Amino acid sequence: DLSGSITTPDVKLNLGGEFIKESTATTFLRQRGYGWLLEVEDDDPEDSKPLLEELDIDLKDIYYKIRCVLMPMPSLGFNRQVVRDNPDFWGPLAVVLFFSMISLYGQFKVVSWIITIWIFGSLTIFLLARVLGGEVAYGQVLGVIGYSLLPLIVIAPVLLVVGSFEVVSTLIKLFGVFWAAYSAASLLVGEEFKTKKPLLIYPIFLLYIYFLSLYTGV
């Protein structure tokens, strides 16, 4: 008669100077060539980026561009060309969405309509600029048109206060439209247009009149 006992192999791993005892199942898998199932990948530093960095959102850059749009006078010393030369998507989208929110009047369809006008209105300005010989990208036009809605957002609470005074309200609306159109045109209408500047400034002006009409309900 044969008798005896089989003991569990005592296998130890040397990890960083420390010995760790493996379980029977682990040893079995390693002996059969399935040790790769037990391997643990090191954490990739690329996967631990902050959410804002992952989405390519630079809040400081957006804040600087907002100031460039709201204060378009060259004497203030802002490098306003960064709004055009370094376009982003999230900043203009936030401005357009905020403008849509204050334009709601209980109708949520206004939000999608304003976003549609922003996208296709910018596309129209882009195509016209290219036809006139301007070297501008669609992303640049989209960013400039979106950011330049800020003056209309600024005058919105003022219109709520002086809404009963028709003359004052009309003057503030004109001021807001001129402010927005000037801010956008000064960035998009460069020297390459020469004598054709009015052909691009005029549709930009009309686009912001239409944006204001969506807010006031005209």
* pLDDT, tens only, 145-193: 988 888 888 888 888 787 678 888 889 889 989 989 888 888 888 776 6
Range of the domain at 206: 59-216
Which sign does the torsion angle of CA 165, 167, 168, 172 carry? positive
pLDDT at 140: 87
Flag the least confident range among 20-29, 83-92, 122-131, 209-218: 20-29
Residue 3 has pLDDT above 70, yes or no: no
**Secondary element (H or E) of residue 18:** strand 18-21
Nearest to 149 by CA among 55, 69, 59: 69
Residue 32 has pLDDT above 70, yes or no: no
10 assigned to some structural domain: no
Whole-prediction pTM: 0.66
23 assigned to some structural domain: no
37 assigned to some structural domain: no
Which sign does the torsion angle of CA 111, 113, 115, 117 carry? negative
Structure tokens at 90: 């999230």
Look at the chain and count its residues: 218
147 assigned to some structural domain: yes
Nearest to 116 by CA among 214, 217, 11, 16: 214
pLDDT at 123: 92
pLDDT digits (tens, 9 = 90+) for 33-47: 656 555 655 555 555
pLDDT digits (tens, 9 = 90+) for 115-145: 888 899 999 999 988 888 778 888 888 888 9
Flag the least confident range among 13-17, 25-29, 64-68, 107-111: 13-17
Number of folded domains that form the chain:
1
36 assigned to some structural domain: no
100 assigned to some structural domain: yes
pLDDT digits (tens, 9 = 90+) for 66-87: 888 888 777 777 777 788 877 7
49 assigned to some structural domain: no
87 assigned to some structural domain: yes
Flag the least confident range among 2-6, 71-75, 131-135, 194-198: 2-6
Residue 218 has pLDDT above 50, yes or no: no
